[in-house]
Structure 1
Amino acid sequence: MVIEMRHIFIINPKAGKGKTLKYIPIIKEKFMNINEEYIIELTEKVGHATEIARRYAEKGKCRIYAIGGDGTINEVLNGIVGTDSSLAVIPSGSGNDFVRSMISGNFRKNILTRTINGTDKAVDIGCIDHERYFINIASIGLDAEIAYGAQYFKRKRWIPSKLAYLLSVFVTIFKYKAMKMKILLDSTQEIENTLFIAIANGKYYGGGIKIAPSAELNDGYFEICKVKNISLFKILMLMPRAILGKHEGLKEAVFRKVKNIEVSAERNMLFNIDGEIVQLKHAKISMIPSALNVVIPRSV
């Protein structure tokens, strides 16, 4: 019998505080009855998932599974862009935000089996400075600072992952100051003090905050959510609505559909790129339509 597909499982053993490792015996059991090749790889360092994914993707078409959080997904994405291989997502981190846009309802139920039996679908991706790709959301400003703080709290074993982001919110909003940014949205330029900008391909970030309710993974556009400098009181009023995706229509939040955005500031800005934090003083972000095949799990 002909082997039809290679399945490469890239597992981040640190994601979900080690819970990802439970998938190893489950994968082995599943493939006892599937006549297709499978390989399990464990990441050992930052960027390792990109190296592993690129090594297999360059050998020929395969299905590469990211088993970890949104950072693991981003690393695998950056290893397979430009190849015929597809990205499969087994959400196992603390945020799991990308998969919320991809699957409605209970995305954890039988997720491994459903993904192995899933089908490919082309989705858009974003590119930063022609070298770094993202599939969910890149954000600048307050929310990137919050994400940075959440990473600190997540490293504390006594703090539940879901509480880490909330703790960071309340610590960060009291000390963060809006930054003067030059922003080019397609052909429209603005210079203003900005609290944050979310450049969204998917709808969710921060562990389920629906920051971009109208974003779609395959419409060829980013949805931009931009908030100008506002008072602490207004931030506290805005946040509960933003969590539920009910902030469209508020004058404090500006939404636009764009294909390109350029941002610069007088000092380094924190960028939250699919959950990974980097510092940049200037960035060009471009939409690449239908650039990647993603595995859509079979319906329950």
Structure 2
Amino acid sequence: MKAYHVIVNPNSGNGKGLPVQKKVQEYLESRGIAAHFYFTEKAGDAREMAKNLVPETVKVLGMIGGDGTYNEVLNGMTPGAYPLAVIPAGTGNDFCRMLAIDSWKKATETMIEGTCRMVDYGEVNQHRFLNVYSTGLDAAIANQANQWKGRYPGAFLYTAALIRQVRRMKRYSYEVIWDHGTYKGEGILVAIGNGAYYGGGMKISPRASLFDGKLDVCLLKPLSPWKLLLLFPTVFMGKHLSFQEIIYVQTKQVRLKVQEEVCAMNMDGEIYEAVQLDVSLVTGKLALMIPKD
């Protein structure tokens, strides 16, 4: 018999995961709904837990955590084998923001009463991502934010990390090839979005949709630190596309090569290292519970 299963990262969001789990469990019990809860202890556990679930027993798999937890689950499961449901308990909760899920209660109601839709997800060098893959300044900011978790709250954490990293801003030599174009030259960052938000509410890919079969590529060319600080607030509203230093395209595939020995990459909030990336979109293969209209 199929049942609700929930993977919980108790340490996500500086310890938000466990209190959220207790509220979710109490709410489900108040409605007479049983669920199986699994608690991670270290990085990689969520991936293994998802991998070991028997699809025939899963009605919906809930995920309590942040974008990094969702990414682990996506890379452990077989996409489409059962629906996923996101329950925000992270630092930025950017993917939940894309779905207009702003509380544990709305997320739990969506898990049990929402609409199941088939959505897109990305693949990069044989790894899946749900939200945004990026490199350059924003990866440095994400890395700084990860180091400072617990020191600053929510979106301010990423703002503080930005201010710190702007003083160390580095230019990278990029070669970016998409369906109908190429950019070869210096840049500050490249963000490839399936989702719209990252970094605690920055709308880096304002035209992104989980249903359109397209990746949104945002490249920032070199600019002064002062102009970057002028541009930065506009990203939260998705108004940065008017700046001449921005290249923004929609595509199904992207090849990104960084002319450095190694470069930090930010995949759904987690930091990796790579030199060349082949990014593609898998269209409409992931079952996801979304709020009813």
**TM-score (norm: length of structure 2):** 0.93
Question: Is the 2:118–2:286 Cα contact (8 Å) retained in structure 1?
Answer: yes
Question: Is the 1:212–1:223 Cα contact (8 Å) retained in structure 2?
Answer: yes
1:285 partner amino acid: V
Counterparts in 2 of 1:8 and 1:265: CA distance versus 1, 3 Å: same
Deviation (angstroms), 1:249: 2.2
Instruction: Pick one of 4, 9, 26 that aligns with 1:12.
Output: 9
- Identity rate, percent: 33
Counterparts in 2 of 1:110 and 1:82: CA distance versus 1, 3 Å: closer
Instruction: Pick one of 30, 35, 38 that aligns with 1:38.
Output: 35
Point out the more displaced range, 230-239 or 41-50: 230-239
Partner of 2:107: 111
Residue-pair matches, total:
292
Deviation (angstroms), 1:114: 3.5
Q: Supply the RMSD in Å over aligned alpha carbons.
A: 2.0
1:92 paired to 2:92: no
Counterparts in 2 of 1:25 and 1:234: CA distance versus 1, 3 Å: closer
Partner of 2:263: 269
Q: Measure the CA separation in 2 of the matches of 1:27 and 1:57.
A: 23
Counterparts in 2 of 1:26 and 1:241: CA distance versus 1, 3 Å: closer
Which aligned segments of 4 or more residues in structure 1 are displaced greater than 4 angstroms?
Answer: 33-37, 57-61, 106-109
Counterparts in 2 of 1:64 and 1:242: CA distance versus 1, 3 Å: same
Unaligned runs of 5+ in 1: none
Point out the more displaced range, 160-169 or 205-214: 160-169
1:230 paired to 2:227: no
| Matches for 1:146-157 after TM superposition, within 5 Å | 146-154=141-149, 157=150
Q: Measure the CA separation in 2 of the matches of 1:224 and 1:204.
A: 13
Deviation (angstroms), 1:187: 4.6
Partner of 1:81: 78
Q: Measure the CA separation in 2 of the matches of 1:161 and 1:100.
A: 13
Secondary structure at the residue paired with 1:175?
A: coil
Point out the more displaced range, 270-279 or 32-41: 32-41
Instruction: Pick one of 52, 55, 71 that aligns with 1:55.
Output: 52
Secondary structure at the residue paired with 1:241?
A: helix
Point out the more displaced range, 231-240 or 110-119: 110-119
**CA displacement 1:116-170 (0-9 Å, x = unmatched):** 22221111000001x210111111111111111111111xx44334332111101
1:271 partner amino acid: M
Deviation (angstroms), 1:113: 2.8
